[in-house]
């Protein structure tokens, strides 16, 4: 069996050490790199092209959800597995929205963690059992929330930036920006770009931060 | 140990929060008017109740006394007969002897009629617009009136209250420079200030008093902010520090168990007991951290935090909740977000304890330049609720909510009937600003 190459992103050195020791005990898994925040994670993913990134959520600067989006925008083939202390449903759904393929609690047993990594690396998805229960009790909600990235794109649109300008400023392709816009329209139930701009401005977006 | 310590700290914090002390501060201005009136009454009481004068000469003497009892540029006493005839007006003597029964201000308030009505009900306040003698401008005034029963006179005094608003900016900077010591010390000074204000009555000038009470209002805002900030800090510390360390310890124990090998039964069972204890402790620390300040509020925003709150509420009470979100994150600055979260929390806890509601609706909306929170239930309303021992706490909760909103120039409104209660809290759009931070971080 092919060894799964892993990068761990966590800002807590003790946890990082513990995880490395834990994961390296399995022959199928090799920890090839570590990063202590989202920005460093981007660099290391670019450099090492790992199979799976284990991503913590609570980190200074870019948090794990934002980092996941950023990594997937640039390297869509990377597999992201969120590793977190939080078992609230909202964290999990945000992780899914951001494109992560699984969500495991840090307090999970070693076996569960191995299973999760193997499942996502072979194309599946994985959620800790506790979380799967939470997900089944979905709340009644009127609208889908925009992801943070979608909201930034919408804000740039309301500020008068073109597709190209937004793409350049975010360091992603115009096509990705266009996809974001399409998804935003779908989520908000709007069918034209002018309607989208009006909606964004009515909502107070597109203004400089004071 | 850690849990007990933090628990204690948390209790201390919430006890502080419900401190009654700002109740008194809000009423300082009104109490002032009453004490002025009391002083005036005692100044005329000898004459008014005296035996050795004719009624006519008593009235003349009382008019003189009230006329001279001016305090500060704009503080004076007026007196009217119950049909609206003016008898005393030191600043606008042309009013004396004429009838002002139908006098109304620019907003249509029947000033004299209102004052007489309040006086006849045993003394009370009324707000109206009136020309400010020292500036010659029309300003908002808070008047207070009482009766001189025997003569059928209403008499009273008033304070210009928009004058106070105008000074807030000035006071703000003074406040910033002056008050930076601990909240306890400030509270000491503040209570002392209140005592001095009451004690010195007419001597203390209006301006100084306004200064003191606005400072106190800012002070309560600062105390609340400090508490929120402190809760956040402790909660973060628990989550990012202690929880992570516990997890790391768990990993080390696992490593130990692996190294010891499966045949070491005694060691293996010790390790597995320790692991179980760690899991329990982790759970406890998470609970405390969450109670102090939900990190979800910072990480995922207000909608997600309220969603989690609603979920817990639904699980605990079985009450149906409909929650309508806005599709955005991070539209509000942290303190405004925290304020709306705490209002929601407080409202849900009131609903759970007092209302007996079977369904609740929560909605957030961006409309007409306002970010608006609306919470309604189909309970019995608080007029009919169990008031015996929960009343004070309940009232404090409402006041806290209203106060939190007022700091952001927001609005707070609550309507209650036997069919249910509707609460509205809104923050003006000017506080709303999307964070550009994540986009710049990515560059």
pLDDT tens, position by position, A105-144: 998 888 899 999 999 999 888 888 767 666 655 543 434 6
Instruction: Tell whether pTM > 0.95.
Output: no
Number of independent structural domains in chain A? 2
What is the pLDDT, as a whole number, of residue A162? 85
Specify whether the CB–CB gap between A145 and A65 falls below 8 A: no
Q: Tokens for B367?
A: 């409309």
Specify whether the CB–CB gap between A5 and A48 falls below 8 A: yes
Of A159-168, A198-207, B202-211, B271-280, minimum mean pLDDT range = B202-211
Asked if A167 and A129 sit in the same domain, the reply is no
Asked if B392 and B312 sit in the same domain, the reply is yes
Q: Quick check: is A58 in a domain?
A: yes
Specify whether the CB–CB gap between B377 and B421 falls below 8 A: yes
> What does the alpha-carbon distance between residue A9 and residue A81 come to, in Å, rounded to a whole number?
10
Chain B neighbors of A137, CB-CB under 8 A? 311
Asked if B207 and B254 sit in the same domain, the reply is no
List, in order, residues 6 or more apart from B53 with CB less than 8 Å away.
B47, B61
Band (A68; pLDDT cuts 50, 70, 90):
very high
Share of chain B above pLDDT 90, in %: 16
Neighbours of A62 (CB within 10 A): 22
- Half-sphere exposure at residue A104, Cβ-oriented, CA atoms within 13 angstroms: 25
> What does the alpha-carbon distance between residue B31 and residue B149 come to, in Å, rounded to a whole number?
22
What is the pLDDT, as a whole number, of residue B193? 59
Q: Quick check: is A196 in a domain?
A: yes
B364 lies in which domain range? 295-437
Using only C-alpha atoms, chain A has a radius of gyration, in whole angstroms, of 18
Which position has the token pair 């130990």? B256
> What does the alpha-carbon distance between residue A22 and residue A104 come to, in Å, rounded to a whole number?
15
Specify whether the CB–CB gap between A116 and A22 falls below 8 A: no
Asked if B198 and B314 sit in the same domain, the reply is no
Q: What does the pLDDT average to over A77-105?
A: 88
Q: Quick check: is A79 in a domain?
A: yes
Asked if A127 and A166 sit in the same domain, the reply is no
Asked if A79 and A155 sit in the same domain, the reply is no
Whether A151 sits inside 8 A of B434 (CB atoms) is yes
Which carries the bigger pLDDT value, residue A46 or residue B25?
A46
Asked if A92 and A166 sit in the same domain, the reply is no
Specify whether the CB–CB gap between B323 and B310 falls below 8 A: yes
pLDDT in tens, A27-44: 899 999 999 988 899 999
Q: Tokens for B236?
A: 């973060």
Share of chain A above pLDDT 70, in %: 90
Q: Quick check: is B397 in a domain?
A: yes
Q: Tokens for A157?
A: 């649109």
List, in order, residues 6 or more apart from A143 with CB less than 8 Å away.
A187, A188, A189, B324, B325, B326, B327
Q: Which of A77-81, A191-195, B308-312, B419-423 has the highest mean pLDDT?
A: A77-81
Domain boundary among B283, B317, B348: B283
Q: Quick check: is B16 in a domain?
A: yes
Burial per residue of B311-339, b for 16 or more beta-carbon CB atoms within 10 angstroms, e otherwise: bebbeeeebebebebbbbbbbbbebbbbb
Q: Quick check: is B311 in a domain?
A: yes
Q: What is the ipTM of this complex?
A: 0.71
A189: CATH:
1.10.10.10
> What does the alpha-carbon distance between residue B11 and residue B5 come to, in Å, rounded to a whole number?
10
Asked if A104 and A177 sit in the same domain, the reply is no
Nearest to B245 among A14, A137, A210 (CB): A14
Asked if B139 and B177 sit in the same domain, the reply is no
Nearest chain A Cα distance for residue B371, angstroms: 9
For chain B, how long is the longest CA-to-CA vector? 113
Q: Which of A86, A146, A200 to mutate to test the interface with B (most CBs of B within 10 A)?
A: A86
Specify whether the CB–CB gap between B330 and A63 falls below 8 A: no
A196 lies in which domain range? 148-202
**Residue B370: strand pairing partners:** B367, B428
What is the pLDDT, as a whole number, of residue A161? 84
Domain boundary among A102, A136, A170: A136
Phi/psi at B71 (5° precision)? -130, 130
Asked if B430 and B339 sit in the same domain, the reply is yes
- DSSP assignment string, B351-408: IIIII--SEEEEEEEEETTEEEEEEEE-S-HHHHS--TTTHHHHHHHHHHHHHHHHTT
What is the pLDDT, as a whole number, of residue A207? 60
Asked if B302 and B207 sit in the same domain, the reply is no
Nearest to A91 among B300, B321, B327 (CB): B300
Whether A146 sits inside 8 A of B327 (CB atoms) is yes
Chain A neighbors of B251, CB-CB under 8 A? 15, 17-19, 21-22
A49: CATH:
3.40.50.2300
Domain boundary among A99, A115, A136: A136
Asked if B251 and B331 sit in the same domain, the reply is no
> What does the alpha-carbon distance between residue B116 and residue B101 come to, in Å, rounded to a whole number?
10
Mean pLDDT by 10-residue block, N- to C-terminus, for chain B (443 residues)?
49 43 54 80 81 82 84 83 91 88 88 92 88 78 89 88 56 46 54 60 56 69 79 86 91 90 88 91 89 84 88 87 82 84 90 85 84 89 54 66 80 84 85 44 29
**Residue B99: strand pairing partners:** B85
Size of interface A-B (CB pairs under 8 A): 149
């Amino acid at each position: 069996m092919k060894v799964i190459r892993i990068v761990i992103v966590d800002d807590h050195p003790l946890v990082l050490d513990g995880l490395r020791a834990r994961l390296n005990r399995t022959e199928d898994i090799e920890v090839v790199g570590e990063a202590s925040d989202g920005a460093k994670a981007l660099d290391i993913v670019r450099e090492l092209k790992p199979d799976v990134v284990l991503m913590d959520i609570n980190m200074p600067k870019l948090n794990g959800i934002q980092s996941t989006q950023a990594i997937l925008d640039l390297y869509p083939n990377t597999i992201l597995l969120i590793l977190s202390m939080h078992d609230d449903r909202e964290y999990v759904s945000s992780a899914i929205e951001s494109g992560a393929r699984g969500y495991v609690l840090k307090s999970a047993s070693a076996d569960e963690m191995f299973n999760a990594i193997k499942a996502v690396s072979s194309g599946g998805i994985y959620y800790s059992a506790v979380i799967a229960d939470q997900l089944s009790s979905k709340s009644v909600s009127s609208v889908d929330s925009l992801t943070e990235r979608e909201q930034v794109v919408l804000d740039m649109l309301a500020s008068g930036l073109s597709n190209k300008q937004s793409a350049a400023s975010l360091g992603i392709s115009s096509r990705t920006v266009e996809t974001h816009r399409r998804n935003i329209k779908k989520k908000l139930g709007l069918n034209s770009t002018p309607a989208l701009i009006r909606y964004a401005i009515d909502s107070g977006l597109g203004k400089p931060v004071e | 140990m850690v849990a007990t310590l933090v628990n204690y700290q948390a209790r201390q914090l919430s006890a502080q929060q419900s401190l009654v002390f700002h109740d008194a501060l809000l009423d300082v201005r009104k109490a002032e008017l009453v004490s002025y009136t009391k002083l005036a009454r005692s100044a005329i009481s000898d004459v008014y109740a005296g035996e050795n004068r004719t009624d006519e000469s008593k009235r003349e003497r009382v008019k003189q006394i009230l006329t001279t009892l001016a305090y500060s540029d704009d503080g004076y006493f007026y007196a009217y007969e119950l049909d609206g005839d003016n008898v005393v007006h030191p600043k606008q003597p042309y009013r004396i002897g004429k009838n002002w029964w139908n006098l109304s201000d620019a907003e249509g308030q029947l000033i004299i009629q209102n004052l007489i009505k309040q006086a006849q009900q045993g003394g009370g306040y009324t707000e109206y617009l009136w020309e400010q003698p020292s500036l010659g401008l029309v300003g908002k005034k808070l008047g207070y009136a009482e009766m001189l029963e025997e003569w059928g006179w209403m008499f009273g005094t008033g304070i210009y209250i928009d004058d106070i608003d105008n000074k807030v900016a000035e006071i703000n900077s003074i406040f910033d420079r002056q008050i930076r010591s601990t909240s306890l010390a400030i509270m000491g000074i503040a209570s002392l200030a209140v005592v001095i204000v009451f004690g010195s009555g007419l001597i203390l000038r209006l301006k100084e008093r306004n200064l003191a009470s606005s400072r106190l209002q800012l002070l309560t805002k600062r105390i609340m902010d400090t508490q929120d900030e402190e809760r956040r800090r402790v909660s973060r510390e628990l989550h990012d520090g202690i929880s992570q360390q516990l997890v790391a310890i768990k990993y080390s124990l696992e490593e130990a168990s692996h190294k010891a090998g499966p045949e070491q039964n005694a060691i293996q069972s010790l390790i597995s007991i320790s692991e179980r204890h760690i899991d329990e402790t982790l759970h406890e620390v998470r609970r405390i951290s969450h109670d102090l300040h939900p990190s979800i509020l910072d990480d995922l925003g207000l909608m997600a935090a309220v969603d989690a709150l609603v979920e817990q509420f639904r699980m605990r009470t079985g009450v149906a909740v409909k929650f309508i979100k806005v599709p955005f994150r991070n539209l509000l600055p942290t303190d405004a977000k925290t304020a709306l979260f705490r209002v929601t929390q407080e409202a849900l806890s009131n609903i759970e304890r007092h209302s007996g509601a079977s369904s609740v609706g929560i909605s957030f909306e961006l409309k007409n330049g306002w970010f608006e929170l609306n919470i309604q239930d189909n309970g019995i309303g608080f007029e009919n609720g169990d008031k015996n021992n929960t009343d004070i706490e309940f009232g404090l909760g409402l006041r806290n909510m209203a106060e939190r909103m007022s700091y952001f120039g927001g609005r707070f409104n609550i309507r209650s009937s036997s069919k249910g209660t509707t609460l509205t809290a809104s923050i003006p759009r000017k506080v709303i600003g999307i964070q550009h931070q994540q986009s710049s971080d990515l560059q």
